[in-house]
Every structure is written in C-alpha cells, then in structure tokens.
A = this chain, B = another copy of it.
Amino acid sequence: MRLTVYLAGQIHDDWRREVKEKAESKGLPVDFVGPMDNHERSDNIGEEILGEQPNAIYKDEVASRMNNLRTQVLLEKSDIVLAFFGEKYKQFNTAMDAATAISIGKPLILIRPENLHHPLKELSQRANVTVENIDQALQTIQYIFDTE
C-alpha cells in the first residue's frame, strides 16, 4: 500500500523539499503532491496562459483559477493532507486547504510552531493530529504503516 500526501502550505521557502528528502531517507511508501511552489510562476500563471489582465486584482483572479484547479485535482487524489504553518506570512491558503481537507473527509496532519497554538486552536482541534515539526509529521505517517 502506498499513500498520496498533499503538502498544503506557503510557497516562500523549500520546506517541501525537506519533507520529501526525509520521507525518502525513511523509506516511506508515500507520493507527495502539492501546489506549484515556484512562487513567481504561481502568481503569474493566469497571465502566462490568458495574457495580460486589466489590473493586479484581475491578474490575481485568473492566477487563482489555475491554482485552485490544480489543488482540486490533486487534493482529490490524496489520502492525507499535511498542512504546514510557519511563523511568517498570512497563510490563508494553508488554512483554507486544511479546512477543505477536513470537510471532504481527508485526514489532516497540522504542523505549526508552538507559539501559534492560540490562533490555530480551533483548526488544530479539528485536525487529526497536530505536531510541531516535519520529523514528527513523518513519524505520524510512518505509524500508519507500522505493524508492531
């Protein structure tokens, strides 16, 4: 049995690479999917395909359509959603993807720094598991496969 894990979270640094490398070194039978994490391309994808838009809001509108299509297709293919909250950024998309996962019945693992425990308390309570770092998240996934 292999599982597919959607990696929800910000696309400003390369935390997904760390997840993938550590999962590979542990030998986890897991395939990862996620949003486009080339930030610049994610922001420009609407205009890349549809051409220049009248203003910044409409540039965002068309980009978000492409990004939401991608998320909907890949989330549907996933067995687990891993949502990573960091110290910085608005991270509204992370919260949106995490809540969507809960609502459509996809198990959710939340990674968040301890000092975000208060603003994330309601989401954390609805998640299956909340941990503080990537290692703990991968141990949690490992536990699903363990037989003893």
User: Is A23 interfacial (CB-CB < 8 Å)?
Assistant: no
User: Is A117 interfacial (CB-CB < 8 Å)?
Assistant: yes
Known interface pairs A45-B143, A54-B58, A73-B3. Does A38 touch B123 (Cβ–Cβ under 8 Å)?
A: no
Across-interface contacts of A65 in B (CB, < 8 A): 125, 128-130
Please, how many residues of chain A have a CB less than 8 angstroms from a CB on the other chain?
A: 75
Copies per complex?
Answer: 8
**Contact in complex: B96, A122 (CB < 8 Å):** yes
Known interface pairs A99-B103, A103-B104; 13 further A-B residue pairs with C-beta atoms within 8 A, sorted by A's residue number: A1-B77, A45-B143, A49-B140, A56-B117, A64-B121, A64-B124, A65-B129, A66-B129, A67-B122, A68-B128, A69-B129, A92-B122, A95-B99
Across-interface contacts of A98 in B (CB, < 8 A): 96, 99
Q: Please, what's the 1-or-0 string for A109-124, where 1 marks a CB less than 8 Å from any CB in chain B?
A: 1000010111111111
**Contact in complex: B139, A49 (CB < 8 Å):** yes
**Contact in complex: B95, A92 (CB < 8 Å):** yes
User: Is A22 interfacial (CB-CB < 8 Å)?
Assistant: no
**Contact in complex: A58, B60 (CB < 8 Å):** no
